[in-house]
Chains A and B, each alone.
Chain A
Amino acid sequence: MKRKKIIRTTVLALALLLLGAAGFVYYLFHIPHRDVGGAQADFELSASSLVTEYLATHQKANDKYLDEEGESKILAVIGRVHSITEDMNKQKVVLLKNPGDKAGVSCTFSLANNKTVEKLQTGQTVTIKGVIRSGAGYDDDLGMYEDVILEKSTIISIND
């Protein structure tokens, strides 16, 4: 009688353990992607100062803004809309670049937020928030300046 009970509880415990493990693995595989749009910006600065920071101290800027696991800093950047284009994934790309700056801040929107870009016009001063992917710098091989790249962008405000 007692033996049967031991076996039954052991089987039950094992089943619960397995279920727990399966649940955990399922969770790991389905961790949602970071919600950049819903998150608070880590830094708020002008396109000019971000570019200047990168051109002056590239390595230091990377240490400051990039994250080891790719969950890099979310930046709210204020600048002048220089151009509005589309990338190969049909995502809208707004380049914030103030006159006289050697490079700008390229802000890519997600397909879900593409429509919000329709209200923007070149020449406007706007604030856009996004996650940084890489910084600005002059590339000798390309023979040109690379812009700061932000993705998963959202419009925070239209300043003028």
Chain B
Amino acid sequence: MKKQLLIFGPLFALLLLAFTPMAGKWVSKSAHISFYSHTAVEDITANNYKALSTLDPSSGEVVFTVPMQGFEFEKSLMQKHFNSNKFLDTKKHPKAKFVGKITNLGAIDFSKNGTYNAEVTGELTIKGTTRPLNEKGTITVQDNTINVKTKLPVVLADYGITFSKGKPSTNIAKEVEITLNADYQPE
């Protein structure tokens, strides 16, 4: 009897631990990412509703993947230029990615409804170039959903997206504004 307890005891404890409800990952398949470029010549907006994201409330880890060909522009010609190998080269780099962590995790109570200011640090990869990114965002906890909103500037040249002459150099801002709005559900 004692021998069996010795073997099955710890095994049982291990099993119990495995099934203990731990704060699991939350997933967002409902996100809106838009970018906005403003120049004296024209304003350009594009929208993407196909980003995918995970958020781990216990570790603060946040990941976003964005299918670049999902960006829709009002002008079809602009959309073609955006995807072309002279600009975002989306056939070769079909996804943009952000991998980061909430650095002020202690200030956010995921179990209590409310709006929290979050600070996120991570790396953003666009067109194969990875750069560090530190941004602020807003996390809203409402019953069984978590919402994340943020606005951040992206300097195109930082990711190897430059134009020296022609229309793109005058019609596209050097720095574009990215707006993000994502709703998360438990995995």
Contact = CB atoms under 8 A, between A and B. Distances in A.
B32 interface: yes
A68 B86 CA distance: 10
Interface stretch (A2-10, A15-23, A87-95, A112-120): A87-95
A160 interface: no
Counting contact residues on chain A (CB < 8 A from B), the size range is 35 or more
Given A67-B91, A87-B49, A72 B30 contact: no
B171 to A, nearest CB: 12
Interface stretch (A36-44, A45-53, A144-152): A144-152
B70 A141 contact: no
Interface in B166-187: 181, 183
Contact of A28 (B67, B77, B90): B77
Contacts of A86: 30
Contacts, number: 93
A69 B83 contact: yes
Nearest to A146: B52
Nearest to A59: B92
B94 interface: yes
A139 B76 contact: no
B183 A66 contact: no
A144 B54 contact: yes
Given A91-B49, A133-B67, A85 B76 contact: no
Interface string A123-160: 00000000011110001011110100101000000000
A85 B95 contact: no
Given A133-B70, A134-B67, A151-B50, A71 B80 contact: yes
Interface string B53-95: 1100000000101011110000111011111110001110011
Contacts of A87: 29-30, 49-50
A149 B50 contact: yes
Given A68-B91, A89-B47, A141-B97, A149 B83 contact: no
Interface string B78-118: 01111111000111001101010000000000000000000
Most buried by A among B29, B50, B75: B50
A132 B68 CA distance: 11
B99 A70 contact: no
A89 B49 contact: yes
Contacts of A100: none
A62 B92 CA distance: 8
B148 interface: no
A60 interface: no
Contacts of B25: 143
Contacts of B83: 67-70
B52 A29 contact: no
A149 B55 CA distance: 21
A141 B69 contact: no
Contacts of A134: 50, 67-70, 94-95
Given A70-B79, A86-B30, A133-B50, 4 more contacts: A29-B77, A134-B50, A142-B65, A144-B54
Interface of B: 25, 27, 29-32, 47, 49-50, 52-54, 63, 65, 67-70, 75-77, 79-85, 89-91, 94-95, 97, 99, 181, 183
